[in-house]
Amino acid sequence: MAIPVVPVAGVLSTGFLGLGALHLLAPFQMCSIFGLPCSAVADKPPLQAFIYANGGREIMLSIAFLLLGKQGNREGMRALMYGILVCSSGLLRVAF
């Protein structure tokens, strides 16, 4: 008998998995969404590495939400989501 996943964890896990797959499968399109000058020219620094790292991060978040949902660990999911929000708001303050 399988352990049920909390619906919120299922939605977040699926969403982050899709976002990570989009990063890994379409890096040039994601560069344009982020506003990065990503090109295949050899003299420019490869910004695709940032996109691939971001995709890997999204997939790892998907796995984390899935495992926390299987455990029924709502506090862990809440802490993970707060961590994502705090990290992104801190990066926005540094960038702008």
Rounded Cα distance, 67 and 80, in Å:
12
CB 55 within 8 A of CB 21: yes
- Choose the weakest-confidence range: 1-10, 42-51, 52-61, 77-86: 42-51
- Measured in Å, how far apart are the chain's first and last C-alpha atoms? 50
Q: What radius of gyration do the chain's Cα atoms show?
A: 16
CB 34 within 8 A of CB 51: yes
Q: What is the pTM of this model?
A: 0.78
Rounded Cα distance, 95 and 23, in Å:
21
Summarised one tens digit per residue, pLDDT across range 21-74 is: 998 998 888 888 877 777 666 555 567 778 888 899 999 999 999 999 998 888
